[in-house]
Structure 1
Amino acid sequence: MKLWHCSGARSLRPLWALEEMALEYEVEILPFPPRMFEREYLKVNSLGTVPYFVDGDTEMTESTGICQYLVDRYQRYDFGLQPSHPEYGAYLNWLHHSDATLTFPQTIAMRYYFLEPTPEKQAVADDYSKWYISRLRRLDRHLESHEYLVDNRFTIADIAIGYALYLGRALKLDGQYKPQTAAYLQRLMDRPGFKRADEQGEPLSLPGAE
């Protein structure tokens, strides 16, 4: 298995999953964003995005999908749920919620705050930042009475959602997190698997984020 990764990018999800599962893998660290600073990478992944993941003949580009693949392909249900589990629907919903609902508005904000900043785009970024925070309502409510998202244990659903919260922290939006949500993120960041994944590569540096 090989994973192409940029520190702090969505590729942190599968890297974190690989570390938690103690699977053997190779990682190639790229500058962010790779399509701008590592043009040769386009020959590997024509999208120029990370993650890019190969496992034999399998090629994948979606961070949460790779996490689910690892659970199912390698039968690592100690980090996931099987379809027969009563919370399987909730598990899938959190996995897809992580990108479709949470990471999407963050990427727009990141692009217009840091990568293509103009006064006009700043207003758009402000709107998407507010949208992201408002979309945490369901998670905030769930964490009032749960330590983890499903089955009272850590799963890749927590990796998927946890990364979105972590990216929000990089975007300096975490000051608006509810106490239970901030505590949940810290709990995830305290895991050795997260620390091993997060320390690979130079820290994500966004222009103007200091």
Structure 2
Amino acid sequence: MTRPVLYHCPDARSLRCLWAVEETGMDVDLRMLKFPPRAFEPGYRAVNPLMTIPGWVEDGRLMTESAAICERIAEGTSLEVRRDESDYWAWRNWLHRSDATLTFPLAIMIRYTRVEPEERRLAQAVEDYRAFFGGRAKSIEAALGDGREWLVAERFTIADIVIGYAAFLATTLGADDVLGEATKGWRDRCMAREGFQRARQRQKAAA
């Protein structure tokens, strides 16, 4: 059986998958791409017609959604919340919230600060979506406000990975001042994990 292949750009959403890989010790073939692939990696279209990151290829099947890939990686490990656990549905909700609610406004900020040429950058859009993210990030603060160390199940899971990535991304964009104090502490715990540190070191070494 061949190793799964992870197509990844440094610090892109695919970092969630690489982080999960490092937490579990799964053996994967890491393929580094320049960001954005649609501009710099024309050959990637043959792998993923969407030209999005991540791309996960396993047993001839392609997966393209980072939270779903994290679910695959977490199977049978402590990063997974099982259906018979009381926090199962809260866990699933966080996985979906990670992109639809939290990473989306940050993606708009990235577009208009880093991707678009200078003449097309929109400061107002950046500020609007920064505030948009701040409002939605209150859900993280509410979940941690009772003194929880992690989001669900009284342990570190892929919910912390997929949501923690959004908090990390906000920090790289200078938008972490909209995060609550409990959220900042939790973000720091996430980023201090050896799995996160190894993932960032591995992407740097492979670039």
TM over 0.5: yes
Please name the residue that 1:9 is paired with: 12
1:121 corresponds to which letter in structure 2? L
8 Å contact kept, 1:91–1:157: yes
8 Å contact kept, 2:138–2:179: no
Please name the residue that 2:74 is paired with: 71
Structure with the higher fraction of residues in helix conformation: 2
Please name the residue that 1:133 is paired with: 134
Please name the residue that 1:166 is paired with: 168
Please name the residue that 1:57 is paired with: 60
Please, which runs of 5 or more residues in structure 2 have no aligned partner?
Answer: none
Distance 2:203 2:28 in 1: 16
Cα distance change on mapping 1:39 and 1:4 into 2, 3 Å: same
1:180 aligned to which of 173, 179, 182: 182
Deviation at 1:59, TM superposition (A): 1.2
Distance 1:157 1:137 in 2: 16
SS of the residue 1:201 aligns to: helix
Please name the residue that 1:99 is paired with: 99
Distance 1:163 1:69 in 2: 17
2:34 aligned to which of 31, 34, 44: 31
SS of the residue 1:48 aligns to: coil
1:114 corresponds to which letter in structure 2? R
SS of the residue 1:136 aligns to: helix
Please name the residue that 1:144 is paired with: 145
Q: Deviations over 1:50-97 (max 9, x none)?
A: 10001113210000000112223xx22x11111111111100011111
SS of the residue 2:57 aligns to: strand
Please name the residue that 2:24 is paired with: 21
Deviation at 1:120, TM superposition (A): 7.0
1:3 corresponds to which letter in structure 2? L
Q: TM-score, normalised by structure 1?
A: 0.90
Please name the residue that 1:206 is paired with: none
Please, which runs of 5 or more residues in structure 1 have no aligned partner?
Answer: 204-210
Deviation at 1:118, TM superposition (A): 4.4
Same amino acid, percent of matched pairs: 40
SS of the residue 1:172 aligns to: coil
Aligned length: 200
Moved over 6 A (4+): none
Cα distance change on mapping 1:119 and 1:48 into 2, 3 Å: closer
SS of the residue 1:138 aligns to: helix
8 Å contact kept, 1:34–1:49: yes
2:133 corresponds to which letter in structure 1? Y
Distance 1:192 1:119 in 2: 39
